């Protein structure tokens, strides 16, 4: 980490906390010589981060046994100063580099998909229509080890030049927050009076600015 290296964190507990706070990531990969960055959902354990997709997905195809970069970012605040140059943001991010590994064993793939569902909606997997062998066959899971993971964090108030403080323009922090709101049922749930909607177990929230 070269720029603002003081914001870098390599402690696994810090990395895990940032991963725990979210479920959305961006995956960087190269397919047929063309770089791509695509958004997707993730889940993780203490050793790896996981993504999934269709067996026909170019992201999945390009991520197997190939260099991969996954990033997770939580934008916590906009930081305003008295010069355009020093405007910034408060954030928590994790960057993971490594070699993607495709999980090809059907039982292991099904177990990982269950872990993804349980992380977001605990207890829901067992209540769903059982997954079919055809669905497992059509789905791929990619694992990326956390061995080359680093975090970068910025918190707190503006940091600007002393001589700029006398300029008569507002400076400070505008907090941002991502929240999980009340579930909205579909037509079938309404027709059958099914009202036991789960709440998402992961809420990115925000850190104090």
Q: Are 145 and 63 in contact (CB under 8 A)?
A: no
Range in 31-35, 142-146, 198-202 the model is least confident about = 198-202
| Integer Cα distance of 48 and 26 in angstroms | 15
The CATH number that applies at residue 183 is 2.30.110.10
Range of the domain at 135: 5-191
Residue 209 has pLDDT above 50, yes or no: no
Say whether pLDDT at 50 is over 50: yes
61 lies in some domain: yes
Longest dimension (CA), the chain: 68
Give CA–CA dist 197/119, Å, rounded: 16
Residues 72/144, Cβ–Cβ less than 8 Å: no
Between 6 and 118, the more confident residue is 118
Structural domain contains residue 197:
no
* 203 inside domain: no
Mean predicted confidence (pLDDT) in 68-76? 97
Is residue 199, in this structure, part of any structural domain at all? no
207 pLDDT higher than 70: no
**Per-chain mean pLDDT for the chain:** 92
Least confident of 41-50, 145-154, 177-186, 198-207: 198-207
Indicate whether 198 belongs to any domain: no
Count: domains in the chain: 1
Give residue 202's pLDDT band: very low, low, confident or very high (50, 70, 90): confident
* Strand spans (E) along the chain: 8-9, 24-31, 34-41, 43-44, 48-54, 67-80, 88-99, 101-103, 139-145, 149-154, 172-175
For residue 208, being part of any structural domain is answered with no
pLDDT, position 3: 57
DSSP H or E stretch at residue 161: none
pLDDT greater than 60 at residue 13: yes
Is residue 97 classed as helix, strand or coil in its secondary structure? strand
- Whether 69 is in a domain gets the answer yes
């Amino acid at each position: 980490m070269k720029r603002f290296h003081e914001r870098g964190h390599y402690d696994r507990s810090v990395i895990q906390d940032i991963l725990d706070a979210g479920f959305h990531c961006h995956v960087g990969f190269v397919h047929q010589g063309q770089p791509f960055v695509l958004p997707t959902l993730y889940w993780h354990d203490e050793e790896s981060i996981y993504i999934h997709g269709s067996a026909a997905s170019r992201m999945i195809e390009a991520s197997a046994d190939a260099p991969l970069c996954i990033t997770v970012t939580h934008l916590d605040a906009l930081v305003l100063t008295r010069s355009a140059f020093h405007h910034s943001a408060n954030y928590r991010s994790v960057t993971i580099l490594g070699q993607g590994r495709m999980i090809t064993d059907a039982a292991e793939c099904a177990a990982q998909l269950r872990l993804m569902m349980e992380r977001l909606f605990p207890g829901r997997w067992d209540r769903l229509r059982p997954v079919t062998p055809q669905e497992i066959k059509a789905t791929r899971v990619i694992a990326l080890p956390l061995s080359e993971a680093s975090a970068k964090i910025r918190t707190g108030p503006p940091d600007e030049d002393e001589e700029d403080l006398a300029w008569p323009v507002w400076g400070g922090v505008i907090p941002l927050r991502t929240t999980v709101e009340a579930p909205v049922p579909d037509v079938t749930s309404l027709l059958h009076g099914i009202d036991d909607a789960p709440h998402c177990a992961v809420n990115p929230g925000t850190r104090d600015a």
